[in-house]
Structure 1
Amino acid sequence: MKPALNQWTTKRWTVAEAVDGCVRHGLEAIGLWRQEVAAQGLAESVRLVRDAGLRVSSLCRGGFLTSGSKEALDDNLRAIDEAAELGAACLVMVVGGLPGIPAGQAPSEGFSRDLAGARAQVAEALSVLAPYAGERGVRLALEPLHPMYCADRAVLSTLGQALDLASPYPSSQVGVVVDTFHVWWDPSVYEQIARAGERIASYQVCDFLQPLPSDVLLGRGMMGDGVIDFAPLTKAVLEAGYTGDIEVEIFNADVWAAEPDTVMATMKERFAALVA
C-alpha cells in the first residue's frame, strides 16, 4: 500500500505543484479539490494529471444539498461533469448541515432545526444526481462527518446512515467514504465497514487531535499525532474488499504552514509505520 495525496494536505500547492510533488515523492494518485482545479483550469488539470501518469483518487467536493435549492443541484451536476473529465475514482459528497447554517458560521435568522427534513432533502437530491452520475461513469461517495459537524456541514454522522442513503442505488453510482477522523469513535464502525463492502469508494486517513483546536475543522493531524488506532480500521477496510487508493487528508494550520515537501516526507513515513 502507498499513500495518495489529498491536495488539501499540502494546501499551499497548486494543482501543478501538487502533481509535481506526487511524482517527485513516488506517489501514484492524487485527490483534487474543485476550487484548485478551477484555478488551474479543468483542461489543464486533466492534462497535468495524465501527463504525470497519476490516478485521480477523488474529487472534493460535491454536496451541500440540504437547502433544496436549484443552485446547489446545478453545482453538483457541474461537479459530476468535472469528475468525469478528470477520470476521478469518485466525487466526495459532504451533504450539508441544517438549512440556514453556513459551514463554520453562526446560524442565520430563521434557520431550520428540522434535522429529519434536511436528511430528506439529501435523499431527494440523490434521486436526481445518482442517475446523472451513472450516465457519466462517476461514482458519488457519501461522506459521514463526525457528529460535531452535523449542524453546519453534514447531517450524515455515521457510516450506517450513509449506507442507508446509498442503498437504493447501484454501488457503481453511490458509495461511501471511510474517513478515520470521522468514524473512529463509532462503536459500530467495524460492523458497518463490513456491511459497506464494495460500496467503499474512498478510504481517507488522518489523526484526531486531542485537545481539539478552537477551530475544530482544523483538528485533523498527521498520523501518530492523535488518538486513532489505524491498523484495525485499515484491516477492516481491506477485508471488506477495498482495493483503491488510501488518501491522506489533513486540515491543520501547522501542517499547512510547513514546507510541503517536508509534509510529504513525514506523511510517507507515518503512513508506512501506522497505516500500512
Structure 2
Amino acid sequence: MNKQIDVNRISLNQITTENWSLEEAIEGCVRHEIPAISIWRHKIAEFGLKKSKNLIESANLEVSSLCRGGMFPALTSSERQDRIDDNKRAIEEAAELGSKVLVLVCGPAPNKNLQESRKWVKEGIESIIPFAEQYGVKLGIEPLHPMYTADRSVITTLGEANTLQESLGSKQVGVIVDVFHVWWDPFLYEEIERAKGNILGFHVSDWKVPLPDIFKGRSMMGDGVIDIPRIRKAVDENGYSDAVEVEVINQEIWDMPGDETLKLMKRRFVEYV
C-alpha cells in the first residue's frame, strides 16, 4: 500500500483556476492553506512582474515553477532567436519570483519535419543553459502526450526527455513528470528510474474516459484511469520530494467557483495522490 502523501506538498498550478487572476489565486491559496503556487506567464503580464512578486512575498507562498518557456522550433533563424530571447526573459521572471524551475513546453514542428524540430529544441535549450546557470534557475523539459505533437511539443515521452537531458550534459536541465502526459508509457517506470536526481517537477490530474477535450481534457484526480499513487511513489523513490502541482485544464473545472475548486483539489489530493 502506498504511503499517504503529505498535504503540505500540494501546489496550485494556476491554470487549474484559469478564471482567477494571479491576485485571486494567491488569496485563494492563503484561504485554503495551500503553501505553493505554479505561476503562468500570461497571468504575470496582467499585473506586471514587480506587483506579482510583491503579492507572492506578502502571502509567503512558495513558487514551485514558472510556466512556461520553450516553443523553440521556428522556420527562420531570426524567429528561433526571438524564441531564445523570450526564454531568457522567462528565466529572469522565474528568478525574480523566486522559482527555481522554468517548465519547458518544447514546441511543435512548423514544417512537418519532426527530426529537424527536435534538433532546434536541443539547440534552443543549449543556448539558454549558461543564462539559466547565471540566474540559478533550472530548466525542466516536460514531455507531452503524443496527441500534442502537432501543436505543442515534439518531445513526447519521458525517454525522449531523458535522452535530451543527457545529451545536453548539464545538471541545470532536468525533466518534469506529468501523469496526464506519461501514464500510458510502457517504459514509464524504467524512465522514472533513469531520471533519478533529475526530476524537477511532478504534476497530477487524471484521464477521464471519454476524454472531454484535447486541450481541456484533464480531469480532477480520482475521476479517471491513471494510477497516480504508483507513479508518485516511483517519483518519490527516485529523489523527488518537492511540491506536487495539481494541473487541471478543464472547462468544467474553470467554470466552477474558484474556492470550490480548491476545496475539491485538496480533498482529492489526499485521497488519490
- Normalised by the length of structure 2, the TM-score is 0.94
Asked if structure 2 preserves the Cα contact closer than 8 Å seen for 1:150 and 1:157, the reply is yes
Deviation at 1:58, TM superposition (A): 0.6
Q: Distance between the aligned counterparts of 1:233 and 1:209, measured in 2?
A: 17
Is the partner of 2:242 in helix, strand or coil?
coil
1:90 aligns with 2:101: yes
Instruction: Give the structure 1 partner of residue 193 of structure 2.
Output: 194
Distance 1:176 1:143 in 2: 6
Which residue in 2 is equivalent to 1:240?
238
Give the number of equivalent residue pairs: 261
The 3-state SS of whatever aligns with 2:196 is: helix
Residues 130 and 169, structure 1, Cα contact 8 Å, conserved in 2: no
What SS is found at the alignment partner of 2:116? helix
Contact 2:100-2:136 at 8 Å conserved across structures: no
One-letter code of the match for 1:220? Answer: R
Distance 1:274 1:238 in 2: 15
Does the Cα contact within 8 Å between 1:89 and 1:201 map onto a contact in 2?
no
Q: Does 1:38 find its partner at 2:45?
A: yes
SS of residue in 1 equivalent to 2:34: coil
Alignment RMSD: 0.9
Task: State the partner residue of 2:15.
Answer: 8
CA contact (8 A) 1:178 1:204 kept: yes
Identify the residue that residue 170 of structure 2 maps to in structure 1. Answer: 170
Q: Distance in 2 between matches of 1:89 and 1:244?
A: 11
Runs of 4+ in 1 over 4 A off after TM superposition: none
Instruction: Return the alpha-carbon distance in structure 2 between the equivalents of residues 148 and 269 of structure 1.
Output: 30
Q: Give the Å deviation of 1:49.
A: 0.9
Residue 169 of structure 1 deviates from its aligned partner by: 3.2
Within 2, Cα distance between the matches of 1:91 and 1:51? 22
The one-letter amino acid paired with 1:77 is K
**% of aligned pairs identical?**
48
Matches for 1:36-185 after TM superposition, within 5 Å: 36-67=43-74, 69-99=80-110, 112-167=111-166, 168-171=168-171, 173-185=172-184
Distance 1:75 1:89 in 2: 18
